[in-house]
Every structure is written in C-alpha cells, then in structure tokens.
Chain A
C-alpha cells in the first residue's frame, strides 16, 4: 500500500451571509461542511457532485487559495491550513492546480513561454536561469505541443491546446499532487479524449497523484482509482471506482448514476431510473439530519433526526465508506456497464 501524501481532516468552509444596513451576519453558506479523505502517492481520487456540492470550493481549499474555516490539510507532515507564508511557498512546489476554463486560465498578454516559465521565476532554485528555456520547451513537448510555439500568445491556440499549456504550467515544478478543477468540462468530446490521454500519460511518467474534480461521471470513472461523491458540502460516499459505480451504497450515488445518459440506444427502457424530485436545497440552510433526506426515496424517520457519519459500514470493509443509515440495504448487487 503506497503512502498517504495528502490527508484532509474535517475541512469546512463557511461563507458569512451579511444583510441589513449594518451588515450583520445572519447566517452562513456552508459550502464545504466537514470533508475528510486521504490521497495516496500516484493515485487519482475523483471528486464528483452536482452544482452546489462544494467540490470547486474544496479544490480551492486544497490549494490554500482560500482559508478553511475549520479543519486541517496534512501534506508532507505540515498542516497546510495553518502554515505560514514562507512555508506555504515551499509547499506550493509540491501541489499545483489546473483550472477549468481554457480562456481565462492563461494571461492573454503573456507568451506561452512566459506562462509556463513563470513558476521558475517565482521559485528560482528549481531550474537555473540558463536552462529555463530548454525546460519550458521540454514541458511543451511533454504535453504534446510543439516547442517552436514558445513565443506565441494564448489566443492563437485552441481550447484543448490551452488546457495543455495550463497542465504544463502545473507540472513545471514537478509537484507530487495536481488538483484538477474540471479540466476537460469546457472541451469538445474529441478534444477531451486528447487531454485525458495526456493527463494519464503524465501521471505514469511522473508518478503524479491527481485530485480530479468533475461532474462528468464517465470521465471520472475512466481516470480515477478512487471516487468521492459529494452532496451539499459533505462526502456522501467514497470508495474505489468499482465500488462506487457497481456496488454503490448511498441513495444519492445511485440516483446520480441512474441519471447519466448512456451512449447506447439499446439500453433504453432497461436501465433503472431514479428521478430525483425538486431542487438541491440551499447550502445556507441544509436539511437537518442527513442532508439528502428531503429527496431520498429510502428516507425514514431517523434520517431527518440524525446525521449519518461517513464510516465503513458493516459488510463493506476496506476503504468503501458511506454516509447512509441504510447503506447495506442500498447496496446494489447487479453490476453496471459503463
């Protein structure tokens, strides 16, 4: 079993809601409300969920682009959540991020060479000045772009190419972890495949661990070793990809999986349909007890009273954890096709 390199413990991020003339705090938007997980070296942890589940906020917390309200992020023996400025600078070499939008993630006024080379300007001891241009060209090649284009500007590249530039920037410092915030969501299907291939190849070559945040379940399934399903700021279920996709034990996960359209018309009418009623509740006012109980078809009285903990449920074993009082009943026995 490979070592754990990143561990999030009970992470919370609450945004205060201020209203009234005096701007009193009348409540909090609980974007992330108690998230814990582990990430091992070289593995890909997929984080899926729908809008409002807090996965993007979680990504920003992991990068310390925002400060958590509570909780800790243990990385390399240090708690990133409370680390000082210079310590964070050192840690930032080991954990980097790739953003979703290829059109706003690159500075339009800088050349591609400058963009990918910026990490070396900020951390000058990683690569000596003389070797920087060479290294940038190497990085361009690694992500499948031509090193001759080092002096071009972002607007001269397509969306998929820009994402690759963002990836090159992310791996420039040889990090151990790459947080990917919906890296392929804004791309066309045919381009998605190209970029996913690049990312998988890089992972093999460099031994990177990915935190892959996305809403496309098929993509997450393909690339992830383990998957965490988020709902309203908390993890509903976490396990290996086979456990989540074939032996899911949480009603939300099952509803989510049943909603994913399958590109195979012969399955029409044969798949299980679990339509969810209504909207996702507001994160400012989450339901009592289990957050999903207002839309859950298995909800019983205890669900509105007591919040189920994300723990190993009996009969599941291993690292498959689920936050449902009735996890065993929900466990699917039929395997599912992609």
Chain B
C-alpha cells in the first residue's frame, strides 16, 4: 500500500492532522540509583518534505526521543509517564500493538549510527533488504530480491546485482550505511528518522550520505528527523532546528535564524565554541562546567549553573518554552537580550 493510500486512510480519521507530532513527552529511566528523567516535556512536529534537526550533546535526550517515537525503548527500565506521539493524528503510545506494527516500520523508519551492529552479520545484505518486502508486502523471494537490487542501485551501491549476496562485513562503513538507508526506505515511509547517521563516517563519505538522504527525501516527500550533535551538518541540510539540553527543548527556530542570532545561551555557547579560521590562535569560547546529572536536575533553569547570563530568577524559576517572535521559541528568561547580544 502506498503512503498516499495509507495516509488517506489515516487522514480520513483525523482531518488534516500533521504528519508527526510529539506532545509533552516525558520519559524516565528507573535505575538502582534513582529515577533519571531523560525527557522532560518535549513538543515537536514534522511535516512532509521538511527536515527537522534535533540538536544536542550526549545526555541531552535526543536519541531517547527518536527511540520513543520508534517504540524501541526497553520498558523497563524506561517508562513514558506522560505525553503523546501522534502519527497523522493517531497516538502511537496508546495504539493497539497490531496497528503499531503497521505504522512503525512501513510508515516511520529509522537508521542508526553504527551500521555494522544494525545489520545482521550472518545474512546477506540483499536478503535483509528483501525481508522488508517479504514480511510487509507478502512478495515472493524472487520479486523481493529484485526489489532489493533496485533499492541498492538507488542508493548508489556499485555492482548491486553481484553484491546482493555479500555480507555486511564485506562492505565499507559508507556502503553499509547506504544498505541501512535502503532498508529504511524500502517500504516508502512517510517519516525517516536518522539517528546520528554520519557520526561514525569519514567526512567525504558523510557528504555523500547526507546528499543521498536529501535526494531521497525530495524524491519521496518524506519528513526527515535528523538527530545529531554536528552543527555543520545541521547548517547544510536542516529546515528547522530544535535544540535539546537535559531532556528538554531549549530553543526552536528556522535554521537561518538560529545561526544568525541564537536565542538561548546554550545554543549561543555551542555555536561560539566551534573552531573558526578567523579566530585562530585565540582561545576558543568554552561553555564552562558539565551537563547536569539526569538523576538530580538543578532547580530553576537546567542550564543556569553554566550560563553566562544567569541571574537570581534563573536559579529559582524554571523558564517555559515561550514564543519570542513568531516561529521562534526559547526557554530562557532573557531570550530577547541573548538575541541582541
């Protein structure tokens, strides 16, 4: 079934709902040492054909968000005490299991950072791609394999027909990533989540993979949710950016606006700490301190211990994510000052 047909089916249920919408998501991890609040109220939305970048460092909760959307968190120790994840208006978290399986995979798919551990080492790559067609579309083996070859060619794997029987370890890192992409787009998903897809790759291969993703997105009108910490990659491909820190969104903006004038001290600090040629020899701006422990989040603004603008109100009042200009939101009491600085 094509995306349009399924979409029409879902659309018939809920009018013109957004493609993907996350509302007030909370995720906790119950550990021996206490409850780690990995995600504390995240709102996101993604439309067809747009690229939303979820930017953050380790521990910010960006990967956990992706995994929650895909439903691959281990529960326990994870728990989702609150929140909704709506695909075309229907909440994935409360959907019956059978229906969920028809959405996650065919409609929403994901590619991971490490292709080597995401691919099964004992099966040929063609077989693994073909499995998508065999299981979800009921194709027979030969047709599925042909479709797999076609996909491999689409993702620019040279000599696809010969290599369809090769094993994952016989490919280079970049090629394996392409195989993962082939598997992910096999069933024409409407949403593609890319969790740090290029972090483990060389820079030239990274460029190839990102341009392939962009091509595929335009060709199929997919919504792309890009999870990363790389400010350079984001500047190249994203339409909108959501910055995460300590499990919350601290800023959302259109990509040009964000780089031109960040509205949150954390974003500002991140952009300033990238080495630049025109600042050579001078000390790099470094955000002092470390991210907070998710077991013991600070009172007030989670960023205040490291913030250059911190005032008393930051230590006591937790700022809301508020709209400062249309289309831009920031979780900072002094967002306007930060922009102008």
Contacts and interface: CB of A to CB of B under 8 A. Distances in A.
Q: Do A's and B's CB atoms come within 8 Å in the complex?
A: yes
Interface of A: 50-51, 158, 160, 188-194, 196-197, 200-201, 215, 217-219, 221-223, 241, 245, 255-256, 258-268, 273, 275-276, 278-280, 336-338
B290 A261 contact: no
A265 B174 contact: no
A-B CB proximity, top 5 nearest: A338-B277, A261-B232, A222-B275, A193-B273, A50-B202
8 contacts: A50-B204, A188-B229, A190-B57, A194-B288, A261-B230, A275-B211, A337-B278, A338-B279
B13 interface: no
Contact of A265 (B172, B259, B278): B259
B160 interface: no
B113 interface: no
B287 interface: yes
B231 interface: yes
Nearest to A158: B290
Contact of A259 (B158, B207, B270, B274): B207
A120 B280 CA distance: 35
For chain B, give the interface size range.
35 or more
Name the prevailing secondary structure of the B interface residues.
helix
A265 B256 contact: yes
Given A266-B256, A279-B174, A338 B276 contact: yes
A221 B277 contact: yes
Interface in B201-221: 202-208, 210-211
Contact of B235 (A158, A264, A280): A264
Nearest to B171: A279
B155 to A, nearest CB: 14
A14 B58 CA distance: 38
Interface in B157-177: 158, 172-175
Contacts of A268: 235-236
Nearest to A194: B286
Given A267-B235, A275-B207, 4 more contacts: A194-B288, A200-B283, A241-B280, A338-B276
A258 B236 CA distance: 12
Contacts, number: 122
B289 to A, nearest CB: 9
Contacts of B57: 188-190
B204 A276 contact: yes
Nearest to A336: B277
Given A51-B202, A196-B284, A263-B259, A280 B172 contact: yes
Contacts of B256: 265-266
A256 B203 contact: yes
A218 B275 contact: yes
A259 to B, nearest CB: 4
Nearest to A198: B286
Nearest to B200: A51
A79 to B, nearest CB: 33
A255 to B, nearest CB: 6
Contacts of B208: 275-276
Contact of B255 (A217, A218, A265, A278): A265
Contacts of A262: 232, 235-236
B286 A217 contact: no
B275 A261 contact: no
A190 B270 contact: yes
User: Which among B234, B279, B286 has the greatest number of chain A C-beta atoms within 10 A?
Assistant: B286
Contacts of B123: none
B309 interface: no
Contacts of B174: 279
Nearest to B255: A265
B52 to A, nearest CB: 14
Contacts of B277: 221-222, 245, 336-338
B158 to A, nearest CB: 7
B274 A263 contact: yes
Nearest to A50: B202
A193 B285 contact: yes
Contacts of B290: 158, 160, 191
B271 interface: yes
User: Which among B232, B234, B255, B256 has the greatest number of chain A C-beta atoms within 10 A?
Assistant: B232
Given A190-B287, A193-B287, A265-B259, A215 B203 contact: yes
B269 interface: yes
Given A189-B270, A222-B284, A265-B259, A255 B204 contact: yes
B202 A196 contact: no
Nearest to B288: A194
Contacts of B279: 222, 338
Nearest to A201: B283
A273 B236 CA distance: 12
Nearest to B173: A51
B275 A221 contact: yes
A260 B232 contact: yes
B36 interface: no
Nearest to B158: A278
A153 B290 CA distance: 18
A259 B204 contact: yes
Given A188-B229, A196-B284, A261 B204 contact: no
B286 A193 contact: yes
Contacts of B233: 261
Contacts of A276: 204, 208
User: Which among A51, A190, A193, A197 has the greatest number of chain B C-beta atoms within 10 A?
Assistant: A190
Interface in B283-329: 283-288, 290
A335 B46 CA distance: 38
A223 B280 CA distance: 7
Nearest to A200: B283
